[in-house]
Amino acid sequence: MTDITSQTEAALAAIAAATSLDALEAERLEALGKKGWVSLALKTLGGMSPEERTAAAPAIQSARAAIADALEAKKAALEAAALEEQLARETIDLTLPAVAAPKGSVHPVSQVMDELAEIFADLGFAVATGPEIEDDWHNFTALNMDETHPARAMHDTFYFPDKSADGKDILLRTHTSPVQIRSMLEQGAPIRIIAPGRVYRSDSDATHTPMFHQVEGLVIDKDIHLGHLKWTLETFFKAFFEREDIVLRLRPSYFPFTEPSVEVDVGYSTEGGRRVVGGHGDAPGHAWMEIGGSGMVNARVLEFAGLEPGEWQGFAFGLGIDRIAMLKYGMNDLRAFFDGDPRWLAHYGFSPFDQPTLSAGVGAKA
């Protein structure tokens, strides 16, 4: 009996003194383990007479309970201390700069769209958007291409099998020009917007992909003429290519939604197999490259969009974003734009920290 009492006191003292979970476990095995002294003492009860057992059992049972309680309490205390210690050790200073190399990058098309928005914002243009799933009224009819117009066939349109609730054909927009119509109907005049976005045509080779990007420009006001158009495009391209020697050539053309219509060419030279924008296209070693269509908004389009052609007029243009991105950043295969190859993106992509701004330069390099 005194034996059990002193052994229990010794065990409780050892448990209280344990400084680690391992030391505590050793104490548990020592007393309550299969071969621990409490377990062995409990086993002796089996060989006792009922009277002896009644006398001996309570002391052993209470020794076991006291040791088990002490073990549990000490275990909780040690675990709490370990957690405190771990929390103190594993602090993270969130104000430190990231040490890992940045992984994501901004696609050149997104970069160029940001550059466009920045430059045109400086010229007083807002950014407008429209749906990529369009109806044939906005994509064609209101742009002066009725059902029988031959230009409709030239657009290689992706049509949806079903019509809209109001009976219109539904399609993937073939150009950003329907945003002209939506903007005029929604906000009336005057207007100064650009509308960058995806467009779709059933066409695919090294220079054509079924999805590509355009930016539409639209200015509606009073006394607007072709001179405003040429100045606006020239000012834009000078800022975009960051050089003063940009020469544009406006070549007579035809679009159903502009009258007169002009195609816009830019002078360039070839250096080391790479096209470099700049200079007069007729100068030695230079040539002209088409970069978009434009013209004065056709009076019929103004009428479709609810504007009075006697009062308002304006110009519109459409540029291929992928094309000008390739020119500016020296890529030669359009298809690589949409392959999603991380090596291509690592090479041609831009840091998300490099926001184009007019003050820091719109052509911030990756």
Instruction: Give whichever of 31 and 193 is closer to ligand PHE, judged by the CB atom.
Output: 193
Which residue has its beta carbon closest to ligand PHE? 318
Count residues near ligand PHE (CB under 6 A).
Answer: 10
- Kindly state whether residue 177 participates in binding ligand PHE, applying the rule CB under 6 A: yes
**According to CB under 6 A, which one of 130, 197, 293, 356 is a site residue for ligand PHE?**
293
**How many angstroms separate the CA atoms of 60 and 232, rounded?**
98
E-assigned strand segments in the chain: 126-127, 133-135, 159-163, 169-172, 191-200, 211-221, 248-255, 258-271, 274-277, 286-297, 313-320
Q: How far is CA 186 from CA 67, 179, 183, in A?
A: 81, 10, 5
Rg of the chain over all Cα atoms, to the nearest angstrom = 39
- Kindly state whether residue 130 participates in binding ligand PHE, applying the rule CB under 6 A: no
Q: Segment near ligand PHE (CB under 6 A), from 28-36, 55-63, 264-272, 316-324?
A: 316-324
- Kindly state whether residue 258 participates in binding ligand PHE, applying the rule CB under 6 A: yes
Q: Segment near ligand PHE (CB under 6 A), from 72-80, 104-112, 276-284, 311-319?
A: 311-319
Q: In whole angstroms, how close is the CB of 292 to ligand PHE at the nearest point?
A: 6
Report the sign of the C-alpha dihedral through residues 303, 305, 309, 311, in that order: positive
Which residues are CB-contacts of 248 (< 8 A; sequence separation ≥ 6)?
230, 233, 234, 237, 264, 265, 266, 267
Report the sign of the C-alpha dihedral through residues 246, 249, 255, 261, in that order: positive
**According to CB under 6 A, which one of 212, 317, 348, 350 is a site residue for ligand PHE?**
317
- Kindly state whether residue 318 participates in binding ligand PHE, applying the rule CB under 6 A: yes
Q: Is 208 exposed, middle or buried (0-12, 13-18, 19+ CB in 10 A)?
A: middle
Instruction: Give whichever of 59 and 185 is closer to ligand PHE, judged by the CB atom.
Output: 185
Query: To which residue do tokens 């100068």 refer?
Result: 283
Which residues are CB-contacts of 40 (< 8 A; sequence separation ≥ 6)?
none
Q: Segment near ligand PHE (CB under 6 A), from 121-129, 164-172, 184-192, 292-300?
A: 292-300
Q: In whole angstroms, how close is the CB of 263 to ligand PHE at the nearest point?
A: 8
Pairing of strands 274-277, 169-172: unpaired
Instruction: Give whichever of 111 and 258 is closer to ligand PHE, judged by the CB atom.
Output: 258
- Kindly state whether residue 312 participates in binding ligand PHE, applying the rule CB under 6 A: no
Instruction: Give whichever of 8 and 298 is closer to ligand PHE, judged by the CB atom.
Output: 298
**According to CB under 6 A, which one of 237, 255, 268, 312 is a site residue for ligand PHE?**
255
Q: How many Cβ atoms sit within 10 Å of the Cβ of residue 36? A: 18
Instruction: Give whichever of 279 and 293 is closer to ligand PHE, judged by the CB atom.
Output: 293
- Kindly state whether residue 175 participates in binding ligand PHE, applying the rule CB under 6 A: yes
Spatial CA neighbour of 364 closest among 197, 127, 118, 198: 118
Which residues sit at the interface with ligand PHE, rule CB under 6 A? 175, 177, 255, 258, 293-295, 316-318
